[in-house]
């Protein structure tokens, strides 16, 4: 679990650098950022779902004292999910990229 969290944090830091670079006038085009961001969000959602539905119940059963912490992490995961959904709405569907209405 620690290795996955470290990898996700590294990916998020890389994405932040890309966004900062783009906003400064350098770096990837927005379409590439959209694809990267959506891929990252998808991986993060799968990871959180695995923890919430798989890992956390096992840990809670084995270590009851962790239940309050695990519940707090689940709440954090829901907050992240809500944020990611709003981000996806802002980015629009991938098939809408580069299209404009006449």
Question: For the chain (length 102 residues), average pLDDT per consecutive 10?
Answer: 78 76 73 72 86 94 94 89 79 50 37
| Number of domains, the chain | 1
Tokens of 95: 């098939």
Q: Is residue 89 part of a domain?
A: yes
User: What is the Cα–Cα distance from 4 to 92, expressed in whole angstroms?
Assistant: 28
11's CB contacts (< 8 A; 6+ apart) are: 40, 43
Is residue 83 domain-resident? yes
99 in a structural domain: no
In a domain, 102, yes or no: no
**Alpha-carbon distance 94 to 35, whole Å?**
8
What's the domain range around 87? Answer: 2-93
Q: What torsion, rounded to 10 degrees, do the Cα atoms 12, 14, 19, 22 define?
A: -170
Question: Residue 98 falls within a domain, yes or no?
Answer: no
The pTM for the full model equals 0.60
Q: What angle do CA 80, 8, 90 make, to 5 degrees?
A: 45
């Amino acid at each position: 679990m620690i290795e996955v969290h470290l990898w996700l944090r590294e990916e998020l830091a890389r994405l932040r650098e890309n966004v900062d670079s783009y906003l400064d006038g350098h770096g990837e085009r927005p379409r590439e950022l959209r694809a990267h961001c959506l891929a990252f969000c998808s991986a993060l959602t799968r990871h959180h779902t695995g923890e919430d539905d798989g890992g956390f119940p096992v840990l809670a059963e084995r270590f009851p004292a962790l239940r309050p912490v695990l519940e707090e992490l689940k709440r954090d995961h829901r907050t992240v999910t809500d944020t990611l959904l709003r981000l996806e709405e802002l980015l629009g569907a991938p098939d809408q990229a580069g299209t404009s209405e006449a």
